Amino acid sequence: MEYNEFITHVQSLAQSNSRAEAERATRATLETIKERIGSDKAKELAAQLPDELSNYLDGNQGESAQSFNLQEFIARASQKEDIEPTTAAIHVRAVFAVLQNAVKPEKFTAFHKHFSHDYEELFPTAPTSEVPS
């Protein structure tokens, strides 16, 4: 998925008023993802994205993952965007939904495994490996 297509989808899903807002939402969410999963795992995700987006996931090699819950994730993204948490939550959900379509299913499943159960509302559908038979 190309950068412009990614941002357009985020803007649409977030019902955002501007492209700039969708870009800020994407940056804030990806930077918060990097904090949550650590730089090494973030680089694996970044490899699936356009360069303009992968830059947000770059960090010092070996930066460790931080364990924080969904509310803290939303609070951090909100602070990065300088918006209300309720709006940030909508933006984060939109970015996660577009990410799911932008990366290979097996990579998204691996990414999903880095998040505890309280994050499930950010994942629109269950990964195929976890669908009950």
Place of tokens 């987006």: 53
What integer pLDDT is reported at residue 123 of this predicted model?
85
Say how far apart CA 89 and CA 129 lie, in whole Å: 26
Q: Is the pLDDT of residue 80 over 50?
A: yes
Q: Which stretches of 1-133 are DSSP H helices?
A: 3-13, 19-37, 39-46, 51-57, 70-81, 85-102, 105-112
Q: Of the ranges 51-55, 115-119, 121-125, which one carries the lowest mean pLDDT score?
A: 121-125
Read off the pLDDT of residues 19-70 as tens digits, 9 standing for 90 and up.
999 999 999 999 999 999 988 888 889 999 999 999 899 866 667 888 899 9
The predicted model scores a pTM of 0.89
Domain locations along the chain: 3-127
pLDDT of residue 61: 64
Q: Which CATH superfamily is domain 3-127 in?
A: Uncharacterized conserved protein DUF2267 (1.10.490.110)
Neighbour-count burial of 1, counting CB atoms closer than 10 A to its CB (0-12 exposed, 13-18 middle, 19+ buried): middle
At residue 130 the predicted structure's pLDDT band, cuts being 50, 70 and 90, is very low
Query: What confidence score (pLDDT) does residue 125 get?
Result: 62
Residue 132 pLDDT? 39
- Predicted confidence at residue 39, as pLDDT, reads 81
Residues 30-41: pLDDT tens digits? 999 999 998 888
